[in-house]
Structure 1
């Protein structure tokens, strides 16, 4: 029977799992795979596992329970091993790496921040500050059929948008990094130019949220900040 893996902990973690259920329908019974230094919380893997809301919630609920009692390395949803023996073998083979990661995230949680900016606001800024964009824009207004100028204008605006978004994102990360232990910048989404995760000490989560709020207020209404967390530290495993 394939083994579904939720998280990895130190061997001395209390592993208090009463009242928590695993993935699947009916919910799988949780158990542990232990080695001398580490433990893995696992269950039987459902044959038809899909990323349904119920299973996603169950997966994260197990991890949140573990994190409330001590450091735990959260595994991504859907991680399955051949069987318990193979999971134990991996724990032994990677024990030093897992132990180091557990030390790094001890007492920490993850916050994910996504930031978007109103497109019209950004374009107005580019038009006001870029002489090249203004020049090409005027040419296309005088000669609507000037294909080469229209292409050049589109390319220049695209470059300006990317450059400014990159700069804004880097500035925000630099301003918020002192409130966190580590950062992990991910690819932007279709609507958000900044997608970054922060590893924050549990006792500093309120201060970190306040720092994000202050950044949002300083940026103004043209920016939309979406802060999710606290979360299991997926981005730092």
Structure 2
């Protein structure tokens, strides 16, 4: 039987899991795989595992219970080992790495922030503030103009969008960083110019959330801030 892995803790963790069930239908009983200093919370892996709502919720419930009592390294949904012996072998092989990471995550939670900027408002700002963009925009709007002008206008606008988004991203992160232990940035997307995970100490969570609210209020309706959390610190595990 293969082994489903939920999280790794240190050996002293209280592991209050008697009323929490694992993935699968019927729900798999939880158990632990221990070495001298570390512990993996595991169960039998279902024969067929899919990211169904019930199983994802069970996976997260186990991690939330562990994090309520101490530090843990949350594993991504669907992590399966060949058997308990192989899980124990990995705990031994990676002991120093896991122990260090557990220390870094002690008392911390993850928050995930996505920020968007109203596209039309950004384009109006660029046309207003960039003379060359304004000139080419007027020329191509009122006259057909050379094809090269349209290409140049598109390139200038693209450059301005990236530059202004990068400046806003740097500014926002500079204001929020003091309340975080660590930051992990993801690549911007078409919809979100800022996608960042923050590792926040428990005693700083209120200050961090307030800093996000303050930043959103100061930037107004032109920006949309979406904050998710607190979450298990997947991005830092």
Question: What TM-score do you get using the length of structure 2 for normalisation?
Answer: 0.97
Alignment partner of 1:187 is 2:202: no
Q: 2 CA distance for matches of 1:40 and 1:213?
A: 37
Where does residue 20 of structure 2 map in the other structure?
20
What is the number of residues matched between the two proteins? 237
Equivalence map 1:99-110=2 (5 Å): 99-110=99-110
Compute the displacement of 1:136 (Å).
Answer: 1.4
Structural RMSD (CA): 1.1
Alignment partner of 1:207 is 2:221: no
Where does residue 111 of structure 2 map in the other structure?
111
Where does residue 131 of structure 2 map in the other structure?
131
Alignment partner of 1:48 is 2:14: no
Does structure 1 conserve the Cα–Cα contact (< 8 Å) formed by 2:181 and 2:200?
yes
Where does residue 84 of structure 1 map in the other structure?
84
Compute the displacement of 1:142 (Å).
Answer: 3.5
Equivalence map 1:135-150=2 (5 Å): 135-144=135-144, 146-150=146-150
Gaps of 5+ in 2: none
Give a deviation string over 1:83-121, Cα, whole Å, max 9, x none. Answer: 111110000000000000000010010111111111111
Q: CA 1:110–1:157 in structure 2 vs 1: closer, same or farther (change >3 Å)?
A: same
Gaps of 5+ in 1: none
Where does residue 65 of structure 1 map in the other structure?
65
SS, match of residue 221 in structure 2: coil
Compute the displacement of 1:47 (Å).
Answer: 2.1
Question: What TM-score do you get using the length of structure 1 for normalisation?
Answer: 0.97
Q: 2 CA distance for matches of 1:28 and 1:155?
A: 56
Q: 2 CA distance for matches of 1:24 and 1:204?
A: 36
Where does residue 168 of structure 1 map in the other structure?
168
Q: Which runs of 4+ in 1 moved over 4 A?
A: none
Where does residue 196 of structure 2 map in the other structure?
196
Give a deviation string over 1:183-221, Cα, whole Å, max 9, x none. Answer: 111122442111101111112111110111000011111
Compute the displacement of 1:32 (Å).
Answer: 0.6
Compute the displacement of 1:145 (Å).
Answer: 5.4
Q: 2 CA distance for matches of 1:143 and 1:47?
A: 66
